[in-house]
Amino acid sequence: MISERIGTWARQHLLVVGKFLGGLGLTPNMLTIIGFILNCVVAAIIASGNIRLGGALLLVSSGFDMLDGSVARATGKTSPFGGFFDSTVDRYSEVVVYFGLLWYLLDTDDWKTGSLLALAAATGALLISYARARAESAGWKASVGILARTERVVVLSAGLLLGKPVWALWILAVGTHLTAVTRMAHVWRQSRQPDGK
């Protein structure tokens, strides 16, 4: 997945940025909250009808997904609660953008199809994260599939920038559920191994 490669790159190269931001007094949890607030702003911009600007800013606001982790590693402030808090707020950040898009779609000719697709895409996104979290809590790995967080942001941003959000929602509605099912199948295969891994 693209997100796995980006995550590896970020961990290696963003420590300098993390040290700088940590030196300013910013904590990982503060950056998580700032990221959520920025995603709320993005949602409001999309809801107002300025979807291309919203698509561009979505790429920027989503960058905070990497910065909070970089600050945590650079300042030695990693913690189980921090990881839990970051993951939970990230889900809110993603869903609030779908709310903004849904608000926008209600004033378009595609409002019925778009609304159903937005619900399907948001549900699929949550199931992807839930499947991974549940698998990891049981001792398995589930970082597989085609639409992890980074890929979802890229698809939605591209659809918004092109002025074709419903196209992006079709991809997300199908792809997120395919990814969730892929993760379930992956965990099932692991559970069938003699050592359960």
Q: What does pLDDT average to in each consecutive run of 10 residues of the chain (197 residues)? A: 59 70 81 93 98 97 81 83 91 97 96 96 97 94 92 96 98 98 95 77
141-146, Cβ contacts within 8 angstroms, sequence gap of 24 or more = 141/186, 141/190, 142/183, 142/186, 142/187, 143/1, 143/4, 144/1, 144/179, 144/182, 144/183, 144/186, 145/1, 145/178, 145/179, 145/180, 145/182, 145/183, 146/1, 146/175, 146/178, 146/179, 146/182
- pTM flag (> 0.85): yes
pLDDT value of position 51 = 98
CATH number of 2-191: 1.20.120.1760
pLDDT value of position 71 = 82
From 90, 109, 110, 195, active-site residue:
90
Span between the terminal Cα atoms of the chain, in Å: 21
Instruction: Let me know if 90 is a catalytic residue.
Output: yes
Q: Where are the domains of the chain?
A: 2-191
pLDDT value of position 1 = 57
pLDDT value of position 4 = 62
Is residue 178 within 8 Å of 152, Cβ to Cβ? Answer: no
pLDDT value of position 2 = 56
Is residue 104 within 8 Å of 49, Cβ to Cβ? Answer: yes
- Angle between helix 111-137 and helix 165-191 axes, rounded to 10 deg: 20
C-alpha 156: how far from its chain's center? 11
